Amino acid sequence: MVLRLTPHSPVNELANLRARTRACREVRELAVMSYANMRGGLLRALMTDLDGLLEASRVIFHFSDPWNTIFYSFRQHHFQPNRSMAVIDVNESITTHKTATIRNYNTQPRLVYKTVVGVNGPLVILNEVKFPQYNEIVHITLPDGTQRCGQVLEITRNKAVVQVFEGTSGIDAKNTICEFTGDILRTPVSEDMLGRIFNGSGKPIDRGPPVLAEDFLDINGQPINPWSRIYPEEMIQTGISAIDVMNSIARGQKIPIFSAAGLPHNEIAAQIVRQGGLVKLPDSKKDQSDSNFAIVFAAMGVNMETARFFKQDFEENGSMENVCLFLNLANDPTIERIITPRLALTAAEFFAYQCEKHVLVVLTDMSSYAEALREVSAAREEVPGRRGFPGYMYTDLATIYERAGRVEGRDGSITQIPILTMPNDDITHPIPDLTGYITEGQIYVDRQLHNRQIYPPINVLPSLSRLMKSAIGEGMTRVDHADVSNQLYACYAIGKDVQAMKAVVGEEALSSDDLLYLEFLGKFEKNFIAQGNYEKRDVFESLDIGWQLLRIFPREMLKRIPETILDKYYPRGGAGAKAVESS
């Protein structure tokens, strides 16, 4: 239940509101717009009724006049310290919003055209257009008054090709009005976007108030000067052992998840959002709190069931307050998927470079984005490339992936985890193939592991994190991280070879060392890779599990770990063993 009191709420409305609150067991949000012209007695009585209903609720006070006795009294006597309270000055917010709007004010008159000569898929062709601009925003008014938004894709003399984000159904050639704005596509951004849900066009769909913009930013972003880029360092923790230990993700890195139809990539994405955060070192003085970390999640072309799963999972597990969620559904216009990841990355850039947060951007499913790109290319009758995808798809994907990184002079960072589904499990398909050229590694979701009921089914052998070396080690995770990862990789690879040899010669022909590798192989997949959907392991716990598995082998067989590290962690009474026993 959401309660909103306006400055001119009459006495009977307050009385009715008081009766409603008594009948309601949960009040999610109380928004008091102003205390002027309100009857103090009824308002105090309403506050008293709300006092027992506001446990674990969020109270938002929008005030346009100075704090008066009523608010002060309520704050002192009725507000408990464990409740979340936000006080918002409406005047200040509106002033900021107006300032951001005025910055983009266009003084040139807008031209209106009724010269539509053709509609082709998501494209509208206009004739006799004066001075159209590339990427210019066009407002389209249908005969029934419905308004849609489009963008100029192509200009040929006095003709303009406009792609319509909301689809072209209902557009006719005679009565459709097109207004050229003279501006590019910008999106309003604000720190209040955290905890909100938007559709693929950036409009709120969570029944909340509109976002008061702090700025309007170009959705295509600005290219980062290579001189200003900082090498990705330190680690983003996902809570998944196969990623944190074997394929650590650095802040500012872009690393995709290669999955396929029928594999649990949505569950993995939701688990990363639930458990993601900064590595909290025991003696670190840096700000590693959750308030310094945010997640931007963009889902493209998902069905209603998947969208409901993401929304419900984030809300029930308390991670929604740090998440900005964009949902483009399968029944939404296909063309909308082209701008959804750019809207998400624009919001992420604002959080990272203006609010100086460490932002994790999860994009799923990039295959839906590439197919939308192919649809627009086919409508424009462009020469197709491999599998019908446009020849510029590599460049287009790079405009998305390369927006990850860190910038000198800013404490924030943008880390990208795009998720894509490989058609027919084909890693040579143009989408994963081109993605692999741009990004810095990949996390491979394996169907064979999934068929054996191992979750998450991450195959660590084809997986790779090229920037892992700069994200781990003393001062960032633990001094033994790199050595443990290398040794686990080596033992797992040898175990796979022994397993293949066993299928040929039988177990009786294997040596004692081979049997140790077989034992390690089974326990590695069962105890290290496999973990519960809601089981969060920090990187230190995962390293300790790795040491527990490595103790299967005699010390002499661990040739990839230096003696100093073995002296400290290999003994069963060492640092690693103590941590495992305490957990």
Cβ atoms of 253 and 469 closer than 8 Å: no
Domain shared by 116 and 92, yes or no:
no
In the block, residue with structure tokens 């640092």: 575
> Distance (Å, rounded) from C-alpha 444 to C-alpha 55?
44
Domain shared by 325 and 464, yes or no:
yes
User: Pairing relation of β-strands 123-126 and 277-278?
Assistant: unpaired
**Residue 196, domain CATH:** 3.40.50.12240
**286 assigned to some structural domain:** no
From residue 167, give the alpha-carbon distance in Å to each of 164, 218, 392, 422.
5, 22, 23, 27
User: Which residue, 246, 259, 254, is CA-closest to 427?
Assistant: 259
User: Which residue, 289, 247, 250, 229, is CA-closest to 476?
Assistant: 250
**285 assigned to some structural domain:** no
Domain shared by 365 and 403, yes or no:
yes
Domain shared by 249 and 330, yes or no:
yes
**106 assigned to some structural domain:** no
Q: How far is CA 362 from the centre of its chain?
A: 4
Last residue of a domain, one of 141, 157, 180: 180
Domain shared by 57 and 192, yes or no:
no
pLDDT of residue 458: 97
Q: Phi, psi (5° rounding) for residue 416?
A: -110, 135
pLDDT of residue 182: 85
* Number of domain units in the chain: 4
Domain shared by 268 and 386, yes or no:
yes
SS3 of the chain: helix, strand, coil, percent, to 5:
40, 25, 35
Domain shared by 175 and 235, yes or no:
no
Domain shared by 519 and 431, yes or no:
no
Domain shared by 452 and 403, yes or no:
yes
**Residue 133, domain CATH:** 2.40.30.20
Domain shared by 385 and 457, yes or no:
yes
Cβ atoms of 92 and 79 closer than 8 Å: no
**150 assigned to some structural domain:** yes
Cβ atoms of 298 and 344 closer than 8 Å: yes
Last residue of a domain, one of 41, 75, 101: 101
- Compute the Cα dihedral for 17, 20, 25, 26 and give only its sign: negative
Domain shared by 156 and 192, yes or no:
no
Domain range for 18: 2-101
> Distance (Å, rounded) from C-alpha 378 to C-alpha 428?
22
Q: Phi, psi (5° rounding) for residue 451?
A: -65, -20
> Digits of tens for pLDDT over the chain (583 positions)?
444 444 444 545 555 555 555 544 444 444 444 443 344 455 555 555 555 544 434 444 444 444 444 444 444 444 444 444 444 455 666 677 666 665 555 556 677 889 899 998 889 999 999 888 888 999 999 988 889 999 998 898 889 999 998 888 888 888 899 999 888 889 999 999 999 999 998 999 998 888 888 999 999 988 888 899 999 989 999 999 999 999 999 999 999 999 999 999 999 999 999 999 999 887 766 656 667 899 999 999 999 999 999 999 999 988 899 999 999 999 988 888 999 999 999 999 999 999 999 999 999 989 999 999 999 899 888 899 999 999 999 999 999 999 999 999 898 999 999 999 999 999 999 999 999 999 999 999 999 999 999 999 999 999 999 999 999 998 899 999 999 999 999 999 999 999 999 999 988 899 999 999 999 999 999 999 999 999 999 999 999 999 999 999 999 999 999 999 999 999 875 554 444 444 3
Look up residue 479 and give its two tokens. Answer: 């001094």
Domain shared by 210 and 151, yes or no:
no
